[in-house]
A = this chain, B = another copy of it.
Amino acid sequence: MKKRGSLIVISGFSGAGKGTVAKRLVKDYGYSLSVSATTRAPREGEVDGVDYYFKSEADFKNLIDYNGFIEYARYVDNYYGTPRAFVERELASGHNVILEIEVQGALNIKSQYPDAILIFITAPSVEALKARLIGRGTEEAAVVAKRMRRASEEADEMINYEYIVVNDDLDECVHTVHSIVISKRCELNQNIDFIEVTKKGFEQI
């Protein structure tokens, strides 16, 4: 029987590079990246099935009714959701599945998948984060300030996560996330069956 994959939920500060970390986990370690569905219109350059699955509101609501999402939420006027079929299929075939999602979605997933691993990606310091938010491009001060306020809210959410990973060096950060996934499988509570089998094995000798 193939061992079930792990479900990894990544959140983090805007600008902390969580999207890049997720993509590298796919590239370096063969993780499966879950693509969200949304009712918002595609932005320029966005590809259906790569950036999002773009759905009509009717289709989205129909999927809700048929339990098609492991979590979904409405932001402003649009729905966003994590399709259940992909996640279930990939986990069952032994692949580690990575989701990039906000805190409410993360907690929602944890309640359904108690073994899901909740990881928060952060910059090494507030100063570094600010430098990244500013350094990104040509944003105005007001845009940067808004992002910083959002980051401040995100900081309050860190306490909900099981692991805090600093993205100082990208390679190291990606390796650390993968180490967490490996480590998790060795935890005592993941190995109770193995221990019972081992103990029984000795009794039979």
Interface SS majority for chain A? helix
Q: A164–B188 contact, CB under 8 A? A: yes
Q: Which of A122-165 contact B (CB under 8 A)?
A: 122, 125-127, 130, 148, 151-152, 155-156, 158-159, 161-165
Query: Any chain B CB within 8 A of the CB of A170?
Result: no
Q: B179–A183 contact, CB under 8 A? A: yes
A residues near B (Cβ < 8 Å) are 119, 122, 125-127, 130, 148, 151-152, 155-156, 158-159, 161-165, 175-176, 178-180, 182-184, 186-188, 191, 194-195, 198-199, 201-203, 205
- Chain B residues whose C-beta falls within 8 Å of the C-beta of A165 in the assembled complex: 186
Bound-state CA distance A179–B130 (Å) is 30
Q: B148–A164 contact, CB under 8 A? A: no
Q: B126–A202 contact, CB under 8 A? A: yes
Q: B186–A163 contact, CB under 8 A? A: yes
Task: Tell me the minimal C-beta distance from A6 to chain B in angstroms.
Answer: 12
